[in-house]
Amino acid sequence: MWSSSVSPRPRLSFLSILLSTASIASAQTIWMQFAPVSPALNSTDDFLVPFTLGSNKQVVNLAPSLSQTETSIIGPKACTPPGQKAPKDKCVLYRGGAFDKSKSTSFNASTDEFNYKNPTFGTYSNGPMGKDIVYLNGGDGSLEVNDYQFAVIESSNMTSGMLGLGKDSTFLKRLYDDGKIASRSFGLHVGIDIWNHPWPVLNPTFDESGNKPTTKDDLNTGNGKRAVGTHKSSIRQETDGNQLPVRESHKFPGSLTLGGYDRTKISNKTKPINVPIAGDGSLQLSLTRVVARNMYADSPFDLISEPLSVVVDADTPHMYFPRNISREIGWVFSAVYGEPGEDFFYTNLADREKDLGNLTMTFTAPGGKGDEIEILIPPTVWYQPVGYMRDFELVGNAEYNYYAPMREWAQDPKSTQIILGRSYVISTLDTL
């Protein structure tokens, strides 16, 4: 994310759809397209980073991590119930694929162990380390990293493996040491699939085509290509049990640029602000205003009265709010609180889709100083299909099919901490 020879002082500007972090621009870059995942299987991510591994080129899909330094890959054992020999197929799909080291003749096992635990989110991943070939961009042989070290996860409650992009990232360091990228900087643009709702979908100012940058300038300078209007790429179909009107789907696949950033994904209409990176590598901001807006006659609704501290953490897809804020957001968007696993969920919404709307959040640098920036979170974010793993099986709920991906600090009702996960924040981070 940054070179150890520089003092990181990021320049942050929020856009409107995705979480995006970008650093020092470089002519020597690697650009990777995110891959779509099934919303029926993994309800926390629309797109993930594809990795091709091993002599037989097995494909897995990873979530980006801005705090972890190692790369962790889901193995078959993480989806295999005790006493059984084969992994559950839907579990493998849900977790973005699994890497079977026994099928790769180039895999080299290690005696080292990977043990990750995040008490804040209650998540963990454990498994042995090993080395194998990594092929970037589909395994065509043009971008090949030999003997790359990663963890093969055998026990985890996370949705997928993680690509570690945090401070001292082994992935970025290896690419830099091999001369494949000119700096340990990167640009991350997390993808999302937005459905139309009665409250208009905001037309983003960045490119939504999903095409690879075509010129050197696209990667490190200038405004690059821009989309005109929105890209109508597919139509959403609902089940008969919870029917909603058919809506257009606007896909923003996302991309990862290593050794620079993709200027086509950055708005030139938003003024940047300088934000320091904390000692633990986290990105911290001050939240000065939260406004919910839908089709209610008394909309919009102001939800906070004083600045609050915010941490951007891509290790979770969820948003964590204090109880009073999460309950107000749930009330405005008609999400019912109280179901374990999905704190805020929906009953049949077909007759009141107007309840969904935008949430606009206004930020400054920590301490509330300097210029303000706004991020708009569109209606689709607040209405996600239910799907999670329990005892190696994909389960949902017989009474409802959708939930709002919020969590609240129920164990500490007085907490004022806010954490924004990877699916709901769009930012641009320049390490200077």
CA 65, 67, 70, 75 torsion: positive or negative? negative
* Closest C-alpha to 399, from 238, 242, 236, 239: 242
pLDDT score recorded for residue 341? 55
Compute φ and ψ for 62, nearest 5 degrees: -120, 150
Which segment of 162-171, 235-244, 341-350 scores lowest on mean pLDDT?
235-244
Give the confidence band of 204 by pLDDT, cuts at 50, 70, 90. Answer: very low
Give the C-alpha separation, 7 to 76, whole Å. 41
Q: Express each pLDDT in 342-387 by its tens digit.
A: 578 877 655 566 688 888 889 888 877 778 888 878 787 887 777 7
Q: Which of 169, 174, 194 is nearest to 21 (CA)?
A: 169
Q: Taking 70 as the threshold, does the pLDDT of residue 233 lie above it? A: no
Instruction: Give the per-residue pLDDT at 203.
Output: 43
Query: Which class in CATH covers the domain with range 30-180?
Result: mainly beta
42-99 pLDDT per residue, tens: 567 888 899 999 999 999 999 999 889 999 999 999 999 999 999 998 889 888 899 9
CA distance 14 to 372: 10
Counting other chains too, the contacts that 231-238 makes at CB distance below 8 Å and 24 or more residues apart are 236/195
Q: Can you tell me the distance from the alpha carbon of 248 to that of 424, in angstroms, rounded to the nearest whole number?
A: 20
For the segment 304-323, the average pLDDT, to the nearest whole number, is: 87
Euclidean distance between CA atoms 292 and 344, whole angstroms: 16
pLDDT digits (tens, 9 = 90+) for 254-280: 788 888 877 766 665 566 677 777 666
Domain spans of the chain, in order of start: 30-180, 189-430
**pLDDT, position 29:** 85
* pLDDT value of position 342: 58
Our separate counts of H helices and E strands in the chain read: 4, 31
Across 103-137, b (16+ Cβ under 10 Å) vs e yields: ebeebeeeeeebebeeeebebebbbbbbebbbbbe
Whether residue 281 has pLDDT greater than 90: no
Q: Do domains 30-180 and 189-430 have the same CATH topology?
A: yes
Assigned token pair, 114:
């990977």
Number of other residues whose CB lies within 10 A of the CB of residue 52: 20
Element (H, E) at 161: strand 161-164
Query: With pLDDT > 70 as the criterion, what percentage of the chain qualifies?
Result: 67
The position carrying tokens 């107000």 is: 328
For the segment 109-137, the average pLDDT, to the nearest whole number, is 92
| Cα Dmax for the chain | 64
Better-predicted residue by pLDDT, 334 or 219: 334
DSSP string, 49-116: EEEEETTTTEEEEEEEESS--S-EEE-GGGG--TT-SS--HHHHHHTT----GGG-TT-EEEEEEEEE
Helix/strand/coil percentages in the chain, nearest 5: 10, 35, 50
- Rounded CA gap, 318 and 423, in Å? 7
Give percent of the chain above pLDDT 90: 24
The pair of three-digit structure tokens given for residue 121, joined into one six-digit string:
């989110």
Average pLDDT of every residue of the chain: 75
Q: What are the tens digits of pLDDT across the range 145-164?
A: 999 999 999 999 888 999 99
Task: Give the burial string for 392-414 (b: 16+ CB within 10 Å, else e).
Answer: bebebeeebbbbbbbbbbeeeee
Q: Is the pLDDT score of 139 beyond 70?
A: no
8 Å CB contact between 338 and 406:
no
Interior/surface letters 64-97, b for 16+ CB within 10 angstroms, e for the rest: bbbbbbbbbbbbbebbbeeeeeebbebbbbbbbb
With residue 250 as reference, give the H or E element that holds it. strand 247-258
Decide which of 219 and 156 is more confident: 156
3-state secondary structure of 240: helix
**What is the pLDDT, as a whole number, of residue 6?**
28
Instruction: Pick the more confident residue, 99 or 6.
Output: 99
Q: What does the pLDDT look like over 386-409, one tens digit per residue?
A: 777 778 877 766 666 778 888 887
- How far apart CA 33 and CA 47 sit, in angstroms, is 9
Say which CATH superfamily domain 189-430 falls into: Acid Proteases (2.40.70.10)
- Please tell me the least confidently modeled range out of 179-193, 291-305, 378-392, 412-426: 412-426
CA dihedral 424, 29, 65, 206 (to 10 degrees): 0
